[in-house]
Chain A
Amino acid sequence: NAGVTQTPKFQVLKTGQSMTLQCAQDMNHEYMSWYRQDPGMGLRLIHYSVGAGITDQGEVPNGYNVSRSTTEDFPLRLLSAAPSQTSVYFCASSQHLRGTYEQYFGPGTRLTVT
């Protein structure tokens, strides 16, 4: 199993540009999430999905859209990039195991918005 994969690994955007960060998992997990990681602030939840066709907002959803058309894929769209969205983005999937959830993280996408 490849686990959770993310593309691209690095991206530089100009303010106002749009793009999609890709995330895929091959573990048949129902739950998938997107987090952003900023220095000193840990990881913050952007959006999450509890299954195909079902998404909801996390702590910091503004400026981002998601969709979940299949179990495997959970892309994150930046509608109009802003410098405040410069961050490292992590996708995660999870399963319910031994009474709790265990999250599996992707390698991350480092995004810079100029």
Chain B
Amino acid sequence: AQRVTQPEKLLSVFKGAPVELKCNYSYSGSPELFWYVQYSRQRLQLLLRHISRESIKGFTADLNKGETSFHLKKPFAQEEDSAMYYCALSGGNRPGAGNMLTFGGGTRLMVKP
């Protein structure tokens, strides 16, 4: 069974400090990993996908298959980064499996001024 674990429910940092939101997964195959973000009073939206190897809003995430991790990092946190962050995984052999996400429990990031 596939599983995503985000060990921290709350992460509080000061503005300008580095941020790392942890994500570990279990999956017997080649998963696709994503980070989704939900800002206050907004919809859940895609932030990053591992396949794209991109940096969005200063955030990056590297898939480490050896450690089965996909941690989200940003060198200098901003107040507007305060939000709920979800790590998610998709995969499997069923039709449309790439469309089905397994989410972690989420980490609330609070960036203090």
Which residues on A are within 8 Å of B, measured CB to CB?
A: 31, 33, 35, 40-45, 48, 50, 56, 58-59, 90, 94, 96, 98-103, 105-108
B:41-71 near A, CB below 8 Å: 43-46, 49, 51-52
**Pair B49/A100 contact, Cβ less than 8 Å:** yes
The answer, among B46, B86, B94, for a CB contact under 8 Å with A42, is B86
Alpha-carbon gap, A42 to B103, bound state (A): 6
Alpha-carbon gap, A40 to B100, bound state (A): 20
Which residues on B are within 8 Å of A, measured CB to CB?
A: 4, 6, 9, 32, 36, 43-46, 49, 51-52, 86, 88, 90, 94-96, 98-106
Alpha-carbon gap, A98 to B102, bound state (A): 20
Contact sample, A vs B, 9 pairs, CB 8 Å cutoff: A33-B100, A43-B101, A44-B103, A48-B100, A100-B49, A101-B98, A102-B49, A103-B36, A105-B44
**Pair A45/B102 contact, Cβ less than 8 Å:** yes
**Pair A100/B32 contact, Cβ less than 8 Å:** yes
**What residues on A are CB-neighbors of B96 within 8 Å?**
31, 48, 50, 56
* Contact A94 B99, CB 8 Å, known A56-B94, A99-B51, A105-B43: yes
Q: What's the dominant secondary structure at chain A's contact region?
A: strand
Given A42-B103, A43-B44, 18 more contacts at CB 8 Å? A35-B101, A40-B9, A40-B105, A41-B105, A42-B104, A42-B105, A43-B86, A43-B101, A43-B103, A44-B103, A45-B102, A50-B95, A90-B44, A99-B51, A100-B51, A103-B46, A105-B45, A107-B43
The chain B residue with its CB closest to the CB of A32 is B99
**What residues on A are CB-neighbors of B51 within 8 Å?**
98-100
The chain B residue with its CB closest to the CB of A95 is B99
Distance in Å: Cβ of A90 to nearest Cβ of chain B:
7
